[in-house]
Amino acid sequence: MNQPVSPGTARARPLWMNLIGGERRPAADGRTLDVLCPSDGQPFAAICRSGPGDVDVAVHTARAAFDGEWGRLTATERGRLLVRLGDAVAARTDELGELESRDTGKPMSQGRADAVAAARYFEFYGTAADKLHGETIPFLNGYTALVVRDAHGVTGHIVPWNYPMQIFGRSVGASLACGNACVAKPAEDAGLSLIRIAELALEVGFPEGALNVVSGLGEEAGAALAGHPGIDFVSFTGSPEVGTLIQAAAARNHIGCTLELGGKSPQLVFADSDLDAAAPVLVKAIVQNGGQTCSAGSRVLIERRAYDDTEFAFIRRSREGGNP
């Protein structure tokens, strides 16, 4: 959680600066945002309130990396770096979990679990990096048609506050594996773990500029990133309303986009269900992560003759606690 503050107000708290081209940089105009602990509403850190100029620098830095050292690496070399990053994240699950917990309000156990999941994403994409093959297509006699998979170039990633590390891992991890250079904009409410993971990427050997993180408000830094003419693809997870704006910005620049906009996932209960086994799952699917999950099972469709028994089991389990 955050609120705008003046640069002087934030000095008593650590300022988590943008990471651009391997350097920690403040916002060009010095503006910051307080980072508030959700449990007590008290500020414990500050982030940069970046603007279009900061985003522009990050995008051009990513382009230089794509055209330079990062773009010259082989798929095998990229994969090895991603596996190293996964190992570095896995070795710091307590540190990252505590950071995520304080930033988002999650229990420590869930913060650690998110760090473990992020590490697995980097490992998965690292081992898949050299297995993205093209195709050979039958054609005319004496001719061979080939499909070669090339990187987009510079990709933008707008990451939400409910699962910062996990979504960062599966979005940025996939993009880096394919050879793109990345600019990520974390949610202004929770993004410290992303900055820390970007620092770890540098520590394990990623070239400067391959992975950049710029913090700030969605309507300022996020909008600037989505609409930047130097971005070749954009990924967004968040609300349908903002997703519409992202899609429109991508269309104006004639680039592709990936949108994950949540949903209302149904759970089905039939009369022959084992309600003792089903009730913990029904409750957990709704309440996990404070209910802030894109696949939350927030609709329960029940066969009519099982309704009363399911309602009783659901209420009882809710009172006992949602975890199995």
236 phi/psi in degrees, rounded to 5: -140, 135
Contacts of 57 by beta carbon, 8 Å cutoff, 6+ apart: 20, 25, 28
Cα dihedral 136, 137, 140, 141, rounded to 10, equals 40
Catalytic residue among 77, 98, 199, 294: 294
Active site residue 257: no
Per the CB < 8 A criterion, the answer to whether 33 and 217 are in contact is yes
Element (H, E) at 135: strand 135-137
* Alpha carbon distance 202, 79 (integer Å): 15
Question: How far, in Å, CA of 103 to CA of 289, rounded?
Answer: 13
Distance CA 201, CA 19 (A): 11
Pairing of strands 135-137, 43-48: unpaired
- Cα-Cα-Cα-Cα dihedral of 206, 209, 213, 219, to 10°? -150
Catalytic residue among 37, 48, 260, 303: 260
Integer Cα distance of 231 and 157 in angstroms: 10
* Residue 294 annotated in active site: yes
Q: For residue 110, give the H/E element and its range.
A: helix 108-128
**Rounded distance between C-alpha atoms, residue 116 and residue 139, angstroms:** 46
Residues classed as catalytic: 260, 294
